[in-house]
């Protein structure tokens, strides 16, 4: 949604928009209503936080391109200058969408750097660059009912999106969620659903989209259906029949945790807290409202948290890199977390009457959601005992703490910790 802060005075808007989105998902607001409230947003950020979208997406071309890519899964940028080379969309289709936003304008708000978004009175049109002719608002070949000078075409656009026979809206969202859970969309990239990029399983995409529409655009119900499906619960361990299959979802393909989730997982495993400027200590990375915190966190940057410079999902990188491995292995940030006086290692090293076996089991359940195998438990115990073999009363506590630091360091560098599998 490009919730991006480029100046300190924009903080109120980005925080407000983030909180509005977060609250919408918590209350399970129907997805069609969520999109409608963004597209038709008017007023100021205090009363209507979704108007913050129009701050970054600030002209009709950007508004049509972002809304199409975000909510329809269609990249229409090429059609601005010529007929889309890999699609059926023409320049007229492009400028018909641009006309929808042609009467959106702004005026200064009550606070510096904040605008009031309004829809000005008049007939909405856009000019086709090639023909120089005016084009009326329409939605990808679907003409709207007669619109008067007082009508806001954005409402008609939102109505068209949420209609049951819309061939793009529900499919786009279902495909995005499928990509989120499986690391590969039924159509991939997930926001490039052109005719020359067909789905790997058209029947699956159609059935899931129909289910989503019939549920009343219920996002939580869609997530529940995906996560309780046999497909999602398949093992990531290949067998003779599916080891080369990357198309039919016959097994689960491991995917690296996203930057924010991994950062929080490291803090949970090591019993440490995050420190982000301007936010309470312990604020989780998944709760960061905008892009401005990336620059101060090398961890989030190196693991691919997007900068919100565009609406393209390609901004988020899930690729593995040497820099990521080196950061987890020997960065000062990770070493400081491991050696923190209030961290997990320091707590485990204290004499509490709990056996080493029980402490290590707790660590494994925390990091991997499973008990350690016998060989894992034996290896970790043997390492701790070896570390303490030559210890005297003075340095026993220090060496024990160092041993637990090493065990935790090894755990957070395993693929099992870093990946969904």
The DSSP secondary structure of 357-420, one letter per residue, reads: HHHHHHHHHHHHSSPPPHHHHHHHHHHHHHHHTT--TTTHHHHHHHHHHHHHHHHHTSHHHHEE
Q: What share of the chain is helix, strand, coil (3-state, %, to 5)?
A: 50, 5, 45
Q: What angle do CA 152, 155, 156 make, to 5 degrees?
A: 100
- Distance, CA of 353 to CA of 229 (rounded, Å): 43
Mean pLDDT of the chain: 91
Q: Specify the range with the lowest mean pLDDT, choosing from 193-202, 258-267, 336-345, 390-399.
A: 390-399
Q: Is the pLDDT of residue 79 over 80?
A: no
For CA atoms 305, 307, 310, 311, give the dihedral sign: positive
Q: What's the first-to-final CA gap in the chain, in angstroms?
A: 29
Whole-number pLDDT of residue 179: 93
Q: Is the pLDDT of residue 170 over 80?
A: yes
Whole-number pLDDT of residue 227: 96
Closest CA to 139 of 188, 40, 212, 72: 72
Q: Residues 281-328: pLDDT tens digits?
A: 999 999 999 988 888 899 999 999 888 877 888 888 888 889 999 999
Q: Which residues contact 114 (CB under 8 A, 6 or more apart)?
A: 9, 12, 13, 44, 45
Whole-number pLDDT of residue 235: 92
- Distance, CA of 249 to CA of 234 (rounded, Å): 9
Q: Where does the pLDDT of residue 46 fall: very low under 50, low under 70, confident under 90, or very high at 90 and above?
A: confident
Q: Where does the pLDDT of residue 364 fall: very low under 50, low under 70, confident under 90, or very high at 90 and above?
A: very high
Closest CA to 255 of 184, 306, 176: 184
- Distance, CA of 300 to CA of 1 (rounded, Å): 19
Task: State percent of the chain over pLDDT 90.
Answer: 66
- Across 89-93, 195-199, 341-345, the highest mean pLDDT is recorded for 341-345
> DSSP code of 27?
T
| Cα-based torsion angle of the residue sequence 158, 162, 167, 171 in order, rounded to the nearest 10 degrees | 110
Longest dimension (CA), the chain: 89
Number of continuous H segments (helices) and E segments (strands) in the chain: 18, 8
Q: Residues 180-196: pLDDT tens digits?
A: 999 899 999 899 888 88
More confident residue, 130 or 69: 69
Whole-number pLDDT of residue 351: 83
Domain residue spans in the chain? 8-162, 169-253, 259-420
Read off the pLDDT of each residue in 73-99 and give the average, rounded to a whole number. 80
Read off the pLDDT of each residue in 264-271 and give the average, rounded to a whole number. 97
Q: Where does the pLDDT of residue 7 fall: very low under 50, low under 70, confident under 90, or very high at 90 and above?
A: confident
- Distance, CA of 58 to CA of 246 (rounded, Å): 40
CB 64 within 8 A of CB 139: no
Whole-number pLDDT of residue 360: 96
Read off the pLDDT of each residue in 58-72 and give the average, rounded to a whole number. 93
Read off the pLDDT of each residue in 354-370 and give the average, rounded to a whole number. 94
Count the Cβ atoms, other than its own, within 10 Å of residue 5.
20
Q: Tell me how far CA of residue 191 lies from CA of 169, 179, 187, 248, 320, in angstroms.
A: 11, 10, 8, 20, 22
């Amino acid at each position: 949604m490009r919730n991006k802060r480029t100046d300190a005075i924009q903080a109120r808007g980005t925080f407000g928009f983030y909180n509005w989105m977060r609250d919408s998902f918590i209350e399970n607001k129907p997805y069609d209503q969520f999109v409608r409230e963004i597209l038709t947003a008017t007023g100021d950020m205090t009363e209507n936080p979704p108007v913050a979208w129009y701050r970054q997406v600030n002209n009709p071309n950007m508004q049509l391109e972002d809304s199409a890519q975000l909510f329809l899964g269609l990249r229409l940028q090429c059609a601005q200058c010529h007929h889309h080379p890999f699609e059926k969309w023409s320049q007229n289709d492009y400028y018909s969408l641009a006309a929808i936003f042609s009467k959106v304008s702004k005026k200064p708000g009550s606070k510096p750097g904040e605008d009031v978004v309004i829809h000005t009175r008049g007939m909405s049109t856009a000019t086709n660059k090639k023909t120089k002719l005016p084009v009326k608002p329409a939605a990808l070949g679907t003409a709207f009912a007669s619109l008067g000078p007082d009508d806001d075409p954005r409402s008609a656009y939102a109505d068209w999106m949420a209609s049951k026979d819309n061939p793009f809206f529900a499919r786009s969202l279902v495909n995005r969620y499928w990509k989120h859970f499986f690391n590969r969309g039924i159509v991939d990239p997930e926001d490039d659903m052109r005719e020359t990029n067909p789905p790997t399983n058209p029947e699956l995409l159609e059935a899931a989209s129909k289910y989503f529409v019939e549920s009343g655009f219920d996002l939580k119900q869609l997530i529940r259906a995906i996560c309780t499906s046999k497909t999602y619960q398949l093992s990531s361990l290949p067998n003779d029949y599916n080891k080369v299959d990357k198309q039919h979802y016959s097994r689960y393909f491991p995917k690296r945790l996203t930057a924010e989730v991994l950062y929080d997982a490291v803090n949970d495993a090591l019993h440490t807290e995050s420190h982000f400027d301007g936010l309470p200590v312990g604020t989780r990375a998944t709760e960061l409202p905008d892009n401005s915190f990336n620059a101060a966190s090398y961890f989030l940057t190196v693991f691919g948290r997007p900068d919100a410079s565009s609406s393209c999902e390609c901004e988020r990188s899930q690729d593995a890199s040497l820099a990521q491995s080196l950061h987890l292995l020997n960065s000062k940030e990770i070493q400081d977390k491991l050696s923190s006086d209030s961290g997990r290692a320091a707590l485990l090293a204290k004499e509490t009457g709990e056996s080493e076996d029980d402490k290590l089991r707790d660590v494994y359940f925390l990091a991997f959601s499973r008990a350690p195998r016998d060989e894992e438990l034996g290896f970790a115990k043997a390492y701790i005992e070896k570390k303490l073999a030559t210890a005297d009363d003075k340095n026993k506590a220090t060496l024990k703490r160092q041993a637990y630091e090493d065990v935790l360091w090894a755990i957070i560098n395993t693929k099992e910790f870093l990946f969904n599998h």
